[in-house]
């Protein structure tokens, strides 16, 4: 993805992707340092085996609880912190304890969705390692997910901010996942706008929630913080498009997933949905391959070529750029503090040119 063209004229360091990725990378690393102590403290209170599973999944330790893990990117907590500081108009002092607690709640919520989604989708690899259900069994993956969700809700309850917002997001995620599970078997009848709506429900919803929660912690009112939610929702769709591109053309070393895994599983990702609905002969050939349960390997490389020929790749990148612009428009309406604005712009760039 690092070679992708930068959309000109939107005022975010055109062509500066590597530098921005570096800034965003540092921002995410700082976020991990800020939230990990609270995240660990929350997980430490759980019953021993649930604690082991949750901490393994979160990348705090290996499968036996020994040092060494591979934590997530911390994108969502970074959004909580940056949006919180943006809304407070105060980026020079560090984030408050309350903001950090909200960021941890959002990360726990994200971990919950990953734990359950991996069970439902049968995905056996997560964050470069075997998925929790594959290591500890389905029972513990389900329970660890439930428990992290419960901790997240109670953390916001204690803060007195945003439990209703998180609950609404949780419902939207569930409805999205329900629609997604029903779609997966229907690559023969794809609907691009429905797939985009699904990306907004599944990824956009939680990013929107992260941004709004951060702003709510420092600004209070839910109404005032609506632009932050809109920012996060557009950003989430951009991220999903980039994720889908990485799922086909990304380096497995960087994505933590097997090459072409989404194609092998015949997932109806956004570039694939675009290709299948393109009306091109490449799209038709892709449709035939997608309908054939498969010897994997070579087939998936051929599929990737067909997605590209049928405009799936270029369209997804352009749509990611378009969503990124919409995100920036929403952010402008929120009139954030300038220092935090720079952080948020860096995360927007990350969303469309991710090489992390």
Q: Which residues bind its own copies (CB under 8 A)?
A: 46-50, 116, 119-122, 138-140, 142-143, 146-147, 149-151, 153-154, 157, 163-164, 167-168, 170-171, 173-175, 177-179, 181-182
Can you say whether the dihedral through the CA atoms of 63, 64, 69, 75 is positive or negative?
Answer: positive
* Distance of alpha carbon 235 from alpha carbon 223, whole angstroms: 20
Q: How far is the CB of 30 from its own copies (least distance, A)?
A: 30
Nearer CB in complex with its own copies: 62/121? 121
Q: How far is the CB of 101 from its own copies (least distance, A)?
A: 15
Nearer CB in complex with its own copies: 43/346? 43
Q: At what angle do helices 17-44 and 97-121 cross, to 10 degrees?
A: 90
* Distance of alpha carbon 173 from alpha carbon 111, whole angstroms: 13
Q: How far is the CB of 171 from its own copies (least distance, A)?
A: 4
Nearer CB in complex with its own copies: 157/292? 157
Nearer CB in complex with its own copies: 128/194? 194
Nearer CB in complex with its own copies: 4/151? 151
In Å, how far are 274, 304, 305, 306, 329 from 280, measured between CA atoms?
A: 11, 15, 13, 10, 34
Dmax (CA) for the chain in angstroms is 57
Nearer CB in complex with its own copies: 135/306? 135
* Distance of alpha carbon 53 from alpha carbon 34, whole angstroms: 22
In sequence order, the 6+-apart residues with CB closer than 8 A to the CB of 5 are 317
Q: How far is the CB of 129 from its own copies (least distance, A)?
A: 21
Q: How far is the CB of 148 from its own copies (least distance, A)?
A: 9
Q: How far is the CB of 234 from its own copies (least distance, A)?
A: 23
């Amino acid at each position: 993805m690092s070679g992708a063209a930068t959309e000109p004229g939107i005022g975010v360091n055109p062509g500066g992707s590597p530098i921005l990725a570096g800034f965003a990378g540092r921002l995410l690393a700082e976020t991990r340092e800020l939230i990990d102590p609270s995240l660990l403290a929350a997980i430490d209170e759980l019953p021993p085996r649930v604690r082991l599973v949750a901490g393994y999944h979160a990348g705090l330790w290996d499968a036996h609880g020994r040092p060494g893990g591979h934590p997530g990117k911390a994108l969502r907590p970074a959004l909580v912190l940056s949006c919180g500081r943006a809304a407070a108009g105060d980026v020079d002092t560090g984030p408050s304890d309350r903001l950090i607690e909200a960021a941890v709640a959002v990360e726990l919520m994200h971990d919950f969705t990953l734990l359950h989604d991996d069970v439902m989708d049968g995905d056996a690899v997560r964050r470069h390692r075997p998925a929790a259900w594959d290591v500890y069994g389905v029972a513990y993956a389900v329970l660890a997910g439930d428990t992290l969700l419960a901790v997240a809700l109670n953390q916001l309850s204690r803060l007195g901010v945003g439990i209703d917002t998180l609950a609404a997001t949780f419902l939207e995620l569930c409805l999205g996942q329900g629609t997604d599970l029903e779609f997966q078997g229907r690559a023969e009848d794809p609907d691009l706008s429905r797939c985009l709506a699904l990306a907004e429900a599944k990824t956009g919803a939680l990013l929107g929630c992260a941004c709004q929660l951060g702003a709510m912690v420092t600004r209070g009112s839910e109404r005032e913080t609506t632009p932050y939610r809109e920012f996060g929702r557009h950003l989430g769709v951009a991220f999903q498009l980039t994720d889908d591109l990485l799922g086909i053309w990304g380096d497995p070393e960087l994505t933590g997933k097997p090459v072409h895994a989404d194609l092998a599983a015949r997932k109806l990702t956004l570039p694939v949905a675009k290709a299948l609905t393109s009306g091109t002969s490449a799209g038709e050939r892709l449709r035939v391959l997608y309908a054939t349960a498969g010897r994997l390997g070579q087939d998936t490389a051929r599929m990737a070529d067909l997605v590209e020929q049928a405009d799936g790749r270029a369209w997804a990148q352009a749509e990611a750029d378009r969503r990124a612009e919409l995100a920036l428009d929403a952010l402008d309406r929120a009139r954030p503090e300038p220092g935090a604005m720079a952080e948020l712009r860096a995360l927007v760039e990350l969303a469309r040119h991710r090489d992390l």
